[in-house]
Every structure is written in C-alpha cells, then in structure tokens.
C-alpha cells in the first residue's frame, strides 16, 4: 500500500543489487519471501484473533451471549501481544521508516492506532479503569495484513531484465588455434584477437571482424532490420546475431563486456533506473488522514477531559477515533482494484510488470510502434509478378520458386510460400549455388537460371524496365530479377506483410484521441508505405537502435506522454525510456523484461486495450477512494462524540462494524471492474 511500504521493502533488496550479478535472483527471491511472510503473518493473526473476538465483552453484549473464566483477560492480553508484535511488526517498522523519511502515511497511522489500542488495552488488564480494545486491535491487524498480502501478490511478477539480455549471448564458442585446430571454449574465455569459427545457424559469440567466409547474418534481434545482412571478409559481425547460411571465421574485436549487446544492456539499465516512482494516490490520502486522525484523536481526548468526563471515557473516545479512522477501506481500496485489473489483463493476454506505469497509461497521448514484427508480420510475401517477353506470371513464379526452394533466405521463403499458395508445382533444380550478396543460380530442365539483385543487373549492364522497377522500389518493395540463359524474363516484388490488426489498432487509438507514430530502422520509403496503409500519423525511419531511446526522449520533451511498442532487443532502451513500454510477446525475452507490459498475443490492438483498461481501473480506484475517505469523513466526528449532547455515541463495536461495511462496499465495487 503503497510507496512507503515499498520503500521499506526495497531497502533490503537495494543492497543486494549492488553485489554483482546475483542481485536479480535475490531481489526476486526477496520479493517472494516478503509475500510468503505477509501470508503467514495474516493466517497466524487471524487464528489468534478468533478467541479474542469470542472473549470480548463488547462482542458478547452485541450478540447477547456470555463467555468468561478466571484469567480470561490475561489470555486476551497474551494473544493480543503476539498479534501486536508478530502481526503488527511490518506496520511498526514501516511506521518507523516513514517517520525517518518525514513522510507519515498509511504505515504510521496503522502503527499509531495499533500502538495506542494495545498500550491502553494492556493498561486496563493491569488495573486501569476502562474497556479493553483487544478485538479491534486483532481485527485491524488481520485486515491490514490481508490487504498488503493481496496487493503484493498481484504486483509480484517483476523480475530483472539483465539476465535475459545476457542469455541471448551464446555460452560457447569454437576457437581456432594457430595450427588450425578447433576447440570449444566458454565465451567468457574469449580474448581480443582470438579466431572463432561460426557454423551456419550458430549465434555469433562476440563482436568481431570477418577474416574468412561469406554468409548472410540475421541481425533483426539486435537492429530490427527485417532483411538479413550479407557479410563478407572485412565486414563487422555483431555478437548475439545469428549466422544463417555460410561458415564464417571472425577475429574477436571486443569481448562480451565491451560488445554491442552489453552496451544495450547498459542503456536499458540506465533507463530503468531513471523511471519516476508514481506516488500512490491512496498514500497521499492516508497521509492527510493521518494528520486529521491524530489531530481529531487528541482534540477528542482534550474535549472529553475538559468536559469533566473520566480518563476511561476520554481514552475510549480517542482510541475509537483512531481505530475508526484507520483506513481499512482506504487500505483495500487500491489493492483490490489492482488485483482485479491484474486478473482481467492476464485474461486478455496483457501481462503487467510495472503497476505505476500501467496506472499512468490512461494519460498516454502518443503511441509509438516499432514496424518489423509489431505492425508487420516480419515475413515477406510476393506483391507483384511482372513477366517480360512471352513468359507468363505463373511460369515466372514457378521458375523463381523452384530456384529459391534451395535457399534459406527470408525472401526466398516468401517466394516459395507464394507459389505453394497458388498450388504451383516446383521443379527440383539439377544444380544450385548462391551468388554471395547478389542472389542464387540454378539449372532447371537444362536451362541456366539466375535470381539476382538490382545491383547485379546494373553491374552486368543487363537491360530491364527501369520505370516499373523504380515504381516498385519507391513503394518500398524488395525486387528480385529472374534471368534465363542471361536473358531478363521478369521481376518479382516482395514486401513485409502488414498485420490485419494494425489498421484497427490505429483506428481505435484515433477514436481515443491518441496519436500513432512509427519508429523503425527500416528505410524511409518502406516505412512511409506501411504507415500510409495503416493510417499512422508520423514516421521516424532509418533510426539506429541506440537512437530509438533518444527519439522517445525527444517526444517526451515535446510534452507527449509516450507509449512504445516493440519486440526486438534494439527496442529495449526505448521501451525502458517511454512512459509506458509495451513488448510484443513474439519478440525477445529482453524486450519483455524491460517492458512495463507484455502482450502475450502479438496483436497491436492490445495496446488500445491497455489504455482503456488503465482508464477504467483509475476510475474504479477514485470511486473506491471516495467511498473509503467519505466513510472516514462521517465516522470520525461520530466517533469523537459530536452528537453526544443528543445521546448519540458511537460505540467502538458499531464503529468497527461500519468500518467492515465500508470495506465490503469497496471490495464489491472493485469486483465490478470489467474490461471492454
């Protein structure tokens, strides 16, 4: 309940973080330990409270039964002492923490009320005139522990992102020694200047320079660029990217500590640490209530004494005021809505990792989407088939797909998938080879065929329809040229497919009055075309990974409350910087770990659901706070005895029942929260 309490909890966890890498494990472990601790304290306090309630004279007169034996007061005192010191311990230490920070709130109020009630009640056992308040004390502590336990459980799913990032790096590398022998070693043993062999399909273990071999490398996890990058001798290789086709030998230029991935880790860490902590509303209310309650309690005591009543009456009035104003309902107003909204969001495939950011999502006015994998499927599909001469569309696609069926490239996969959709039978090539950086060549039914890039066409001066090519290229499409016996027979254009749900997501954001932007590493033309089709308001393209976070900061500087949605590691710093970071579930673990919310289904429409649910949740919280605070506004003067001249005095028991009633109303109202 709230921030102070969480400060209190995080004191211990903070120094764990400063001791090397086990920090995240211990932090997680620490949090689970806290939840288990509150649960245990709650159940023990509840069991011990039952006999106290049964033995209470006030409850007996209320329900009209009698139960007493010699020394029953001592039994109550012993049980109440255990509840006070064991069950009340988190509140007492929390109160001390709040007072140290000169910021009294919920904890201080609970701590103060239970201390006064305990000390006064214990004094009655030792002979002070008056009625004990043991049962109020016991129920107060039990209900408060329940509130904290419920809240902590719903907030508990937070773990540390750093491990997930580091796990993307391969653990082993194949090192080549001077004699050319290979040996598998741990990546941590790699030094600058070592030669490493990377086979097809393996992850590159460290940043380095390619000294032998050619291949295409999938860097999409790191850069967000959807097309694999062709690499040859002297090119750089980034640790963590995946070698897809050929074998490579690299010379290590940076160890894992200095590499690109660890720089991303650092960026994420900084952005996470710079997040503001939203001071909870109920905490502010509790702080205000603390001053009101203490002032009202002391004032009540003074007035009753000065009116000539005895110590017992004045003390009972004061404790009644403190007990009654102790915000049971206020204590549960927020956690119950939190628990409910966490449950609803999980049902809808939204996994909330950072509550404060989720609660603030209602203020978002700009949503920034990463393109590849978020708005698009990250898979290529054929968009245009343009045959030349007397080749038909079907023949052209058949020849291209037959050649490409032997290749691992995503563009090849797109062409093959398109042929299969049209039920075109593929011919098995008699020969097949890839032309590095240019395409593939094959022999089909004794004819020599090539599928090549525009670069190859220009370099070899092969004529083709420039206008059509420019039109396709300007539309952001990737164009492949097909040659048969050195003759140009047509071109095939492909593009990354847009998710069906992307348009709906943007339309619904516009309905909510929210601007949609796109931030991508892809080229401007491709980005503009995707944006036009979906209805995006603004495009920021050709952004390098480490600049994404800067772009978000720029938007924030323009007073835009920004949500960032992405799926790659390259999006992690931006996710951590944005007011709300949303990771798309099909993405990497890291993006998920740095995000405030993870979408289990990679559906952009879910971003809209987050904002809607956040708005609904906030409305429920405010309703509950009004209920809870409203109860106190009425109950405090009654408890103080404002209507005493007319013979209306609020009995502590009636006060406690009213208190329970207001708690039940708040709980019921929280249950009414439904997602659209």
The residues assigned a catalytic role are 370
User: Rounded distance, CA 254 to CA 136, Å?
Assistant: 65
User: Rounded distance, CA 438 to CA 230, Å?
Assistant: 9
User: Rounded distance, CA 257 to CA 165, Å?
Assistant: 12
| Tokens, residue 228 | 């694999």
The helix, strand and coil proportions of the chain, stated in percent and rounded to the nearest 5, come to 55, 15, 25
What is the four-CA torsion angle of 337, 340, 342, 346, rounded to 10 degrees?
-160
Give the sign of the dihedral formed by CA 606, CA 612, CA 615, CA 621: negative
| Tokens, residue 127 | 């002979």
Beta strands 515-519; 580-584: pairing state? unpaired
- Which residues, other chains included, contact 292 with Cβ-Cβ below 8 Å and sequence gap of 6+? 325, 632, 636
Beta strands 580-584; 597-599: pairing state? parallel
Short-list 441, 435, 434, 427, CA closest to 399: 427
Beta strands 248-252; 208-212: pairing state? antiparallel
User: Rounded distance, CA 309 to CA 299, Å?
Assistant: 14
| E strand or H helix that includes residue 496 | strand 487-498
User: Rounded distance, CA 316 to CA 639, Å?
Assistant: 10
User: Rounded distance, CA 673 to CA 596, Å?
Assistant: 21
Contact status, residue 129 vs residue 139, Cβ threshold 8 Å: no
Instruction: Count the neighbouring beta carbons within 10 Å of the beta carbon of residue 449.
Output: 20
- Residues of 217-251 as b/e, b for ≥16 C-beta within 10 angstroms? bbbbbbbbbbbbbbbeeeeebbbbbbbbbbebbbb
Query: What one-character DSSP code corresponds to residue 429?
Result: P
Contact status, residue 151 vs residue 341, Cβ threshold 8 Å: no
| E strand or H helix that includes residue 479 | strand 478-484
User: Rounded distance, CA 265 to CA 423, Å?
Assistant: 46
Backbone angles phi, psi at 553, to 5 degrees: -60, -40
User: Rounded distance, CA 14 to CA 195, Å?
Assistant: 40
Contact status, residue 450 vs residue 438, Cβ threshold 8 Å: no
Please identify which residue in the block is written with the tokens 């380095």: 208
| Cα–Cα distances in angstroms (integers) from residue 332 to residues 319, 337, 641, 669, 673, in the given order | 21, 8, 27, 11, 15
- Which residues, other chains included, contact 14 with Cβ-Cβ below 8 Å and sequence gap of 6+? none
Contact status, residue 378 vs residue 372, Cβ threshold 8 Å: yes
In sequence order, what E strands does 308-355 have?
350-352
| Tokens, residue 327 | 């915000």
| Tokens, residue 202 | 């393996």
Give the sign of the dihedral formed by CA 94, CA 100, CA 101, CA 104: positive
- Name the β-bridge partners of 516: 367
| Alpha carbon distance, N-terminus to C-terminus of the chain | 27
| Tokens, residue 458 | 């220009």
Contact status, residue 652 vs residue 133, Cβ threshold 8 Å: yes
């Amino acid at each position: 309940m709230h921030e102070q309490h969480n400060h209190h909890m995080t004191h211990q966890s903070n120094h764990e973080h400063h001791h090397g890498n086990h920090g995240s494990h211990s932090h997680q472990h620490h949090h689970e330990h806290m939840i288990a601790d509150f649960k245990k304290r709650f159940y023990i306090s509840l069991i011990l409270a039952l006999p106290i309630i049964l033995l209470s004279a006030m409850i007996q007169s209320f329900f009209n039964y009698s139960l007493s034996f010699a020394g029953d007061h001592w039994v109550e005192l012993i049980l109440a002492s255990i509840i006070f010191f064991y069950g009340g311990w988190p509140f007492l230490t929390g109160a001390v923490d709040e007072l140290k920070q000169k910021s009294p709130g919920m904890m201080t109020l609970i701590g103060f009320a239970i201390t006064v009630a305990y000390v006064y009640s214990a004094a009655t056992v030792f002979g002070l005139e008056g009625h004990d308040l043991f049962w109020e004390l016991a129920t107060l502590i039990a209900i408060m522990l329940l509130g904290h336990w419920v809240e902590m459980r719903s907030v508990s799913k937070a773990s540390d992102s750093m491990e997930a990032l580091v796990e993307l790096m391969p653990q082993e590398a194949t090192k080549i020694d001077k004699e050319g022998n290979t040996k598998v070693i741990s990546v941590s043993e790699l030094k600058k200047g070592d030669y490493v062999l990377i086979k097809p399909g393996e992850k590159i273990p460290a940043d380095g320079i390619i000294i032998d071999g050619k291949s295409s490398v999938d860097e999409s996890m790191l850069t967000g660029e959807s097309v694999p990058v062709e690499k040859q001798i002297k090119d750089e290789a980034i640790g963590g990217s995946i070698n897809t086709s050929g074998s490579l030998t690299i010379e290590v230029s940076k160890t894992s500590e200095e590499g690109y991935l660890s720089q991303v880790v650092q960026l994420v860490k900084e952005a996470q640490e710079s997040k503001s902590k939203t001071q909870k509303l109920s905490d502010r209310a509790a702080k205000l209530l603390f001053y009101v309650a203490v002032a009202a309690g002391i004032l009540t005591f003074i007035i009753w004494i000065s009116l000539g009543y005895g110590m017992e009456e004045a003390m009972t009035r004061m404790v009644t005021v403190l007990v009654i104003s102790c915000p049971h309902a206020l204590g549960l107003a927020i956690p119950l809505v939190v628990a409910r909204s966490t449950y609803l969001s999980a049902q809808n495939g939204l996994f909330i990792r950072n509550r404060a950011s989720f609660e603030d999502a209602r203020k978002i006015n700009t949503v920034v989407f990463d393109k590849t994998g978020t708005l698009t499927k990250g898979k290529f599909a054929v968009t245009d088939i343009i045959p030349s001469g007397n080749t038909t569309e079907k023949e052209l696609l058949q020849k291209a797909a037959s050649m490409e069926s032997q290749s691992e490239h995503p563009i090849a996969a797109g062409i093959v998938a398109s042929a299969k959709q049209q039920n075109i039978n593929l011919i098995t090539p008699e020969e097949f080879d890839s032309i590095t950086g240019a395409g593939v060549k094959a022999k089909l039914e004794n004819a020599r065929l090539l599928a090549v890039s525009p670069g190859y066409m220009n370099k070899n001066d092969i004529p083709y329809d420039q206008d059509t090519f420019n039109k396709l290229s300007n539309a952001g499409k990737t164009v492949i040229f097909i040659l048969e016996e050195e003759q140009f027979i047509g071109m095939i254009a492909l593009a990354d497919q847009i998710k069906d749900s992307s348009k709906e997501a943007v339309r619904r954001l516009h309905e909510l009055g929210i601007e949609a932007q796109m931030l991508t590493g892809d080229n401007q033309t491709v980005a503009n075309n995707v944006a036009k089709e979906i209805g995006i308001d603004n495009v920021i393209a050709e952004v390098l990974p480490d600049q994404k976070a800067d772009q978000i900061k720029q938007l924030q500087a323009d007073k835009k409350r920004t949500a960032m949605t992405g799926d790659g590691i390259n999006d992690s710093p931006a996710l951590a910087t944005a007011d709300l970071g949303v990771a798309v579930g099909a993405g990497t673990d890291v993006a998920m770990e740095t995000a405030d919310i993870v979408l289990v289904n990679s559906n952009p429409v879910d971003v809209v659901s987050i904002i809607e649910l956040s708005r609904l949740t906030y409305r429920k919280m405010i309703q509950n706070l009004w209920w809870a605070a409203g109860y106190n506004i009425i109950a405090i003067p009654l408890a103080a005895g404002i209507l005493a001249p007319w013979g209306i005095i609020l009995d502590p028991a009636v006060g406690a029942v009213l208190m329970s009633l207001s708690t039940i109303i708040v709980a019921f109202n929280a249950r009414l929260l439904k997602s659209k």
